[in-house]
Amino acid sequence: MKLGEAVEFGKVDKNCPYPPQMKGKDGSDELAKQALDSGITPSYLLSKALVPAMDRVGQKFSENKIFVPQMLMSAKAMSAAMIHLKPFFQSGAVKSKGTFMIGTVKGDLHDIGKNLVAMMVEGAGWTIIDLGVDVNEDTFNQTIAENPGSFVGLSALLTTTMNNMEEVVKKIKEVHPNTKVLVGGAPLTDDFRVKIGADYYSPDPQGAVKYLNEFAA
């Protein structure tokens, strides 16, 4: 699928001069819109084009075939496509089911997966507080204090920042022991979740929604 290629090679939109071999061609911005207009579902685009494209990017990075700048262009292209998916995940729910705050833990700048989780949880009727990336325990604790009863989601994509996640969970639980903390991100496992004392691990946004909905107001 052309959209997957645009993300894999970092072609953001038609005007984007990068990569030179795709000059003048549509980028992920135009291709995502065209695909949705033609009736392809957002879930299909995510699972068959966008996420596999990012996996190919990760694979090439591991093999030293591409470097950080190329990975960054792919991330930009992915984000340009996600802008078109967002309205499809927003629901018309009048009453919020509760508040879910989410952030990528300190030291970690990956935000695509976190943004997808936020988008889908919002679509399921929850109020979202997106704390962004590189978020430390103090920011989480302060935001929980300002939003009592809220649920917390932590994302980590690096094996190094999994350790930071452990610290963040510990500090949250010290200050707000009753707050439910949900964790996710590619290198995590449920065993790790148990080890760090978080309440739930989900490998994907759908699992996060399912868990949160058990507590819906």
Q: How far apart are CA 156 and CA 53, in angstroms?
A: 20
Residue of 33, 110, 171, 173 that binds ligand B1M (CB under 6 A): 110
The one segment of 10-18, 80-88, 101-109, 141-149 that binds ligand B1M by CB under 6 A: 101-109
Residue of 29, 111, 130, 166 that binds ligand B1M (CB under 6 A): 111
C-alpha distance across the termini of the chain, in Å = 41
Residue with tokens 């919020």: 96
Q: What are phi and psi of 105, to 5 degrees?
A: -70, 160
Sheet holding 127-135, edge to edge: 127-135, 99-105, 151-155, 181-184, 200-201
165, 105 Cβ separation under 8 angstroms? yes
Pick out residues in 177-196 that bind ligand B1M (CB under 6 A): 182-187
89, 42 Cβ separation under 8 angstroms? yes
Residue closer to ligand B1M (CB basis): 94 or 108: 108
Binding of ligand B1M at residue 123 (CB under 6 A)? no
Binding of ligand B1M at residue 4 (CB under 6 A)? no
Q: How far apart are CA 8 and CA 73, in angstroms?
A: 9
Q: Which token pair is 202? A: 């989900």
Residue closer to ligand B1M (CB basis): 35 or 85: 85
Binding of ligand B1M at residue 71 (CB under 6 A)? yes
Residues 6+ apart with CB under 8 A from 68: none
Q: Which token pair is 48? A: 């068959």
Residue of 13, 26, 167, 204 that binds ligand B1M (CB under 6 A): 204
Binding letters toward ligand B1M, positions 130-159, x by CB under 6 A: -----------------------xxx-xxx
Binding of ligand B1M at residue 98 (CB under 6 A)? no
Interacting residue ranges for ligand B1M, rule: CB under 6 A: 51, 54-55, 57-58, 61-62, 68, 71-72, 74-75, 102, 107-114, 116-117, 153-155, 157-159, 182-187, 202, 204-205, 208
